[in-house]
Structure 1
Amino acid sequence: MSQPGQPASASADSSEVFLTVVVPVYNEAFRIPSALQQILEYLERRPEACEVLVVDDGSTDNTAELVEKVSRATRAVRLLRHPVNSGKGFAVRTGMLNACGEYLLFTDADLSSPMTEADRLLEPLKSGYDVVIGSRALKPEWISPRQPLLREASGRAFNFLARSIASLDFRDTQCGFKAFRRQAAREIFSRQAIRGFAFDVEILYLARKLGYRTLEVPVHWGNDARTKVHPFRDGPRMVADLLRIRWNDWAGKYRSQESEPRA
């Protein structure tokens, strides 16, 4: 088992791995076995060598043990662990900086976007794009089931603020289904500072700032009522983090790469 802050383990040779699927998890014991099964079924249908990198963000249940059980059965699954819960953004950062694939994709453990949707992101990457993000906003009719009205309205409000404050033109910054060329991921995530749910906006801001070719594509998506994002609890901090992105840029914190992820 690898530890955060260390290079990717020898269990996966970066010269051979086509795709790494990064899955950040926190207390996901109730669904991680099914999620891994679905991801592995998708990867097994691909002709290339692929891997799954699960980042356990300080879970207090037996999530890590369940992932370890799968990793003992297949070398295609690796596990990184944070000793304490540090935020989804930090977990994704750890995974992306330790991934071995030529292409890197992160997805939520609930698989709101089915793994079969990954092809919609990978094809543009193979044709020359550096960052491709899934979007619920481009084809709302592909959302089933839909979110509750309050959550949908709060999501739209945050996306409006994100576009305004960070000067982004993406219709949906928060869909947890994004893919990167490895070099772009290294440059972007090594500069990432936001650890919470607003990290998506920061990495898109950095992608544009660094001049990477970006594309937003529609994906099928289904609401999971067990989401860990709560508008009233997380909303104020996420808005504050939008302002922090602008401050970080003004203060020059995005000019040079930071060190490998810290636990």
Structure 2
Amino acid sequence: MLKPLSGRHSRRGVMEDTPFLSIIIPAYHEEQRLPRTLEILNGYLHRQTYSYELIVVDDGSSDESSRLMQQCMRQFGEQGLFLKNERNRGKGYSVRRGVLSSHGDYVLFSDADLSTPITEVEKLLGSLRQGYDIAIGSRGLKTSDIQVHQAWYRERMGKIFNRIARSLHLTKFSDTQCGFKCFRGDAARSLFPLQSLEGWSFDVEILFLAARRKYRIAEVPIQWFNEPNSRVNALTDAMKMFRDLLLIRYNAWSGKYD
């Protein structure tokens, strides 16, 4: 059973209690969206009975994001941690850095735009309560609730990407790229050190590694709203992501993941 903890994690002293939930938010050039996102997260987390920590990782933004994020993070007190990459490394690198800085019994990473509402974490925690090690939010199931769709070509490319990933026997899931995934803390902190991809395709690599290590993974239908200002370039990033799928397969063949 998932049991709430009453303690808080002190970053200035010892670990008073392990946080129940760690939330990782990777961010790049998010000065327009982050203040509202952090306000929503603060309101939600303060209504919960469990302990938590929020970790925001700025991926080398060149705008005002860092200054604004540091200001907004003050509302979380000792439950907040702000990390900044010296240069832009990629979403995968930022999520990995956040996960490896976490201490929670459970670790969630979520996109900075909250295209999946934070309240959907309750569905993922429900799957973990049933004995799964990892629960991934999915837009690809029949019961997924897509409130605002992506442009047709983005949806099409996403489906092709996932189809290729399945054909290469890297994953069995209908949606690997939804940026809303929750892990048992020990599972997350054992998997992410093995991650080699730093860009958008890191999700597939993590799920592939998890399956190889016999972790139980639940694909969970979630509510989702498309954010029109996507950071993913439909052409150049897509080509890199397809190349990354071949790299994962090569890494597995060469024994890199053994």
- Report the TM-score when normalising by structure 2: 0.92
1:153 and 2:156 aligned: yes
Query: Any residues of structure 2 matched to 1:104-183 within 5 Å, and which?
Result: 104-139=107-142, 142-183=145-186
Matched position secondary structure for 1:221:
strand
- Whichever residue aligns with residue 49 of structure 1, its letter is S
Q: Please, which runs of 5 or more residues in structure 1 have no aligned partner?
A: 1-7, 256-263
Q: CA deviation at 1:123?
A: 1.5
* Structure 1 pair 174–14 and aligned structure 2 pair: CA distance change class (3 A): farther
The Cα offsets for residues 177-204 of structure 1, whole Å up to 9 and x where unpaired, read as 0000011101110100000101010000
Matched position secondary structure for 2:72:
helix
The Cα offsets for residues 58-108 of structure 1, whole Å up to 9 and x where unpaired, read as 000111111211233332221011000000000000011111211000000
> Contact 1:139/1:219 (CA < 8 Å) preserved in 2?
no
- Whichever residue aligns with residue 48 of structure 1, its letter is Y
Matched position secondary structure for 2:235:
helix
- Greater Cα offset, 235-244 or 14-23: 14-23
Aligned equivalent of 2:58 = 56
The Cα offsets for residues 131-155 of structure 1, whole Å up to 9 and x where unpaired, read as 1000001136611111111111111
Cα distance in 1 between the residues matched to 2:14 and 2:68: 20
Q: Please, which runs of 5 or more residues in structure 2 have no aligned partner?
A: 1-9
Aligned equivalent of 1:260 = none
> Contact 2:170/2:249 (CA < 8 Å) preserved in 1?
no
- Whichever residue aligns with residue 210 of structure 1, its letter is R
Higher relative contact order (Cα pairs below 8 Å, separated by 6+ residues): 1
Q: CA deviation at 1:12?
A: 8.1
Q: CA deviation at 1:251?
A: 2.0
Q: CA deviation at 1:9?
A: 4.4
1:231 and 2:234 aligned: yes
1:193 and 2:196 aligned: yes
* Structure 1 pair 101–185 and aligned structure 2 pair: CA distance change class (3 A): same
Give the one of 228, 247, 250 matched to 1:247.
Answer: 250
Aligned equivalent of 1:258 = none
* Structure 1 pair 176–160 and aligned structure 2 pair: CA distance change class (3 A): same
Aligned equivalent of 2:214 = 211
Aligned equivalent of 1:33 = 35
Matched position secondary structure for 1:123:
helix
- Identity of paired residues, percent? 44
- Greater Cα offset, 147-156 or 121-130: 121-130
- Report the TM-score when normalising by structure 1: 0.90
Matched position secondary structure for 1:193:
coil
Cα distance in 2 between the residues matched to 1:215 and 1:91: 24
Q: CA deviation at 1:231?
A: 2.0
When the two chains are superposed, the root-mean-square deviation of aligned CA atoms in Å is: 1.6
Aligned residue pair count: 248
Cα distance in 2 between the residues matched to 1:27 and 1:12: 33
Aligned equivalent of 2:21 = 19
Cα distance in 1 between the residues matched to 2:128 and 2:199: 26
The Cα offsets for residues 19-69 of structure 1, whole Å up to 9 and x where unpaired, read as 011000001000000001111111111101111100011000111111211
